[in-house]
Amino acid sequence: MRADDVQNEITKVLVTEEQIQRRLDEIAAQVDADYAGKDLLLVGVLKGAVMVMADFSRALKSRAPVDWMAVSSYGAGTKSSGVVQIRKDLDTDLHDKHVLIVEDIIDSGLTLSWLLENFASRGAASIEVFALLRKPDAAKVEVNCRYVGFDIPNDFVVGYGLDYAEGYRNLRDVAVLAPHVYS
């Protein structure tokens, strides 16, 4: 669905599907160049990163395997708890791999900084982060993010994989959820 289909439930469209695809092409070209000749592994964080992984991985010209991790830090609410739990671990041994974590959004940064620490002991050759969205004003911890799609304001957003109570993941655009939906 598009933002028009849920116009009463959102207050603003922040990034359109077309803008996302253009930005993904740019970042994919950078990643292709940066990782030329290297053993790249894309690691997605379920479930939010499903859409960005699908489009980003296909925008790459290099052959890059994909693995998934499932962690939970939010539950059904809209605020980070800082408590991270592994629900599904990777299937891949990270040893000597050049790992690029693909994330939907960096909000407080708590989830990613926990994940980076968790990955640090697994013997990867390098670990970098690509986040489609980042909320600079919400940062509680600094996360070293090499590739960023869009910096956005500190509002709760949905769409393109991002959910509220599992809804809106299939919205093609990224939009600010109207407060009446969750209050």
CB of 53 to ligand XMP, least distance (A): 13
Q: Which of 17, 55, 107, 173 binds ligand XMP (CB under 6 A)?
A: 107
Q: Which of 6, 15, 43, 105 binds ligand XMP (CB under 6 A)?
A: 105
Note whether 163 binds ligand XMP by CB under 6 A: yes
Identify which of 172, 132, 136, 140 has the alpha carbon closest to the alpha carbon of residue 154: 136
Whether 107 is catalytic: yes
Identified catalytic residue from 107, 137, 155, 163: 107
CB of 45 to ligand XMP, least distance (A): 6
Tell me the three-class secondary structure of 13-74, residue by residue. Answer: EEECHHHHHHHHHHHHHHHHHHCCCCCEEEEEEECCCHHHHHHHHHHCCCCCCEEEEEEECC
Helix, strand, coil share (%) of the chain residues, nearest 5 = 25, 30, 40
User: Which amino acids are annotated catalytic?
Assistant: 107
Q: Which residues bind ligand XMP (CB under 6 A)?
A: 45, 48, 73-74, 80, 103-112, 156-158, 162-164
